[in-house]
Structure 1
Amino acid sequence: MRQCRVQGFSLLETLAAMFLLALCFGALMQAAGASMALNARAADYTQASLWARGLLDRQFVSEFPSVGAHAGQFDDTYRWNMTVAEPASEAGVRTSMPMRLYRIELTVAWREKGKDASARFVTQRTVSDVPPRDVPRQGDG
């Protein structure tokens, strides 16, 4: 008599494959969760950067800041602290035009999952001591 052997996987092999699949699935879910958390954090930093850029762009254009410390709030979440300083006179650059150099240091802060988070921005701006002359616009005679 011939014995007929059935081909297939044993119960032990099937359990091992399921265990390996569950391990891989768990690792993928953990990576996806970490990716989503990093994405949310990046969104907070992007928003802080946009608020800072808007505030720094307004400086010396419509709102001339005085030397010293300033603070404010953008909305319910983001607040800012800004320090405007003039460097020492010996650190200044000599130019043919009378200009002043200002150093602006801006820190945007917010709460992220119960913890304080912040982003710091530093720039320098020059302002002419001479008022601008009226420049004729196109179409003016």
Structure 2
Amino acid sequence: MPKRNQQQGFTLIEVIAAFTILAMTFMVVLEILSNASANTIKSSERTEIALEAASKMAEVGVTIPIEAGGVSGEFENGHRWDISMTPYEISYEGDTVMDFAPIELYRVTLTIRWDYGDVQERTAEFTTLRALAATYGEEP
């Protein structure tokens, strides 16, 4: 016959070990959730900036004239933008003399700036080429 005085249960070391494993697992899960949350915020921010850039670049040649120089402004959410346009020359190494090109190319650079936190300012830069019909010998 077995003794009935022995209690069935966990020792203090087993309880401490189980609690330690549980705490470490909980910390890992919290770290994963924290990283996922930070990545979601960054992704949302970058998507918003990309949409703003696409919108502003679409205005070049429509509401923003294509000409050497620059313009700047601010979006409704406080993000600031600067557009600079410079003539873009294409090097040509062919046999034919090219005195006339039907278009003029401009390099358009859009820079978007926004505040991140209290101290940091972030920037994103987008560059493209835009064509403009060449104007040779304008008539009065």
**TM bucket, shorter chain:** 0.7 to 0.9
1:81 and 1:106 in contact (8 A); partners too: yes
Unaligned runs of 5+ in 1: 131-141
Match of 1:138 in 2: none
Q: Answer with 58-67 or 70-79: which moved more.
A: 58-67
Q: For residue 130 of structure 2, what is the aligned residue in structure 1? A: 125
Correspondence 1:37-52 to 2 at 5 A = 37-52=38-53
**CA distance in structure 2 between the aligned counterparts of 1:31 and 1:77, rounded to whole angstroms:** 32
Alpha-carbon distance in 2 for matches of 1:63, 1:105: 13
Task: Give the length in aligned residue pairs.
Answer: 129
Question: Residue type of the partner of 2:54?
Answer: R
Q: CA RMSD in A?
A: 2.6
* SS of match in other structure, 2:64: coil
Q: Which residue of 2 aligns with 1:108?
A: 112
Identical pairs, percent: 25
Which structure 2 residues correspond to residues 1-141 of structure 1 after superposition, within 5 A? 2-4=2-4, 5-88=6-89, 91=91, 98-114=102-118, 115-129=120-134
Is the contact made by 1:87 and 1:103 (CA closer than 8 Å) also made in structure 2?
A: yes
Tell me which amino acid in the other structure corresponds to 2:64: E
The 2-side partners of 1:73 and 1:27 are apart by 41
Using the alignment, how far apart are the partners of 1:77 and 1:97 within structure 2?
41
